[in-house]
Amino acid sequence: MGARILIVEDDERIRAALRLALEDEGNTVDEAASAEEGLPTFSQHPSDVVLVDLMLPGADGFELCRQLRRRSDVPILILTARSDSHDVVAGLEAGADDYVVKPAEPKELAARIRALQRRAARGRSDAAGPLAFGDGDLVVDVEAGQVRRGDEALALTKTEFRLLCELAESSGRVLSREALLERVWGYDYFGDSRLVDVHIRRLRGKVEDDPANPRYVVTVRGLGYRLEP
Partner 1 sequence: MLIFTLGALFLSASLALITYERARTYLVRNRETSLQQQTFVNARLIRTRLRDPATDPAALLASLDLPTTSTEQVLRVRGDWYSTDEGRGVDVVPAPVLESVLAGEAAKQRVRLDGLPRLAVGVPLAEVGSEYFAVFPLRRLSDTLGVLRYSLLLGALVTTVAGAAAGFWTSRRVLRPLADVSAAAASVAAGRFDIRLEGGSDPDLATVATSFNHMTDALERRIRRDARFASAVSHELRSPLSTLVASIEVMLGRRDDLPERSRTAVDLLAGEVRRFQRLVEDLLEMSRLDAGADVLELEDVRLDEFVRHATAGAGVRPDVVDVADGAHRAVINADKRRLERVVANLVENAEHYGGGVSRVAVSADGAAARIAVEDRGPGVPAAEREVIFEPFVRGGNVGRRGMDGGAGLGLSLVSEHVRLHSGRVWVEDGEGGGARFVVELPVAAASR
Distance of alpha carbon 120 from the chain centroid: 12
From 77, 16, 13, 86, select the one nearest 47 (Cα to Cα): 77
Q: Which residues contact 135 (CB under 8 A, 6 or more apart)?
A: none
> What mask of x and - would describe binding to partner 1 in positions 92 to 111, judged by CB under 8 A?
----------xxxxxx----
Per DSSP bridges, beta strands 98-101 and 76-80 are parallel
- Give the one residue of 2, 4, 21, 179 binding partner 1; rule: CB under 8 A: 21
Backbone angles phi and psi of 141, in degrees to 5? -105, 100
Residue 55 is a binding residue for partner 1 (CB under 8 A): yes
Q: What share of the chain is helix, strand, coil (3-state, %, to 5)?
A: 40, 20, 40
Residue 223 is a binding residue for partner 1 (CB under 8 A): no
Distance, in Å, from the CA atom of 216 to the CA atom of 139, rounded to the nearest integer, reads 12
CB of 49 to partner 1, least distance (A): 17
> What mask of x and - would describe binding to partner 1 in positions 162 to 201, judged by CB under 8 A?
--------------------------xxx-xxx-------
Residue 114 is a binding residue for partner 1 (CB under 8 A): no
Greatest CA span in the chain, whole angstroms? 55
CB of 109 to partner 1, least distance (A): 9
State which residue, 106 or 130, has the beta carbon closest to partner 1.
106
Residue 18 is a binding residue for partner 1 (CB under 8 A): yes
Residue 17 is a binding residue for partner 1 (CB under 8 A): yes
Residue 23, number of CB atoms within 10 A of its CB: 13
Distance, in Å, from the CA atom of 202 to the CA atom of 216, rounded to the nearest integer, reads 13
Residue 222 is a binding residue for partner 1 (CB under 8 A): yes
Residue 189 pairs with which residues in a beta bridge?
none
CB of 191 to partner 1, least distance (A): 9
> What mask of x and - would describe binding to partner 1 in positions 72 to 91, judged by CB under 8 A?
---------xxxx-------
Which residues sit at the interface with partner 1, rule CB under 8 A? Answer: 11, 13-14, 16-18, 20-21, 24, 55, 81-84, 102-107, 188-190, 192-194, 222
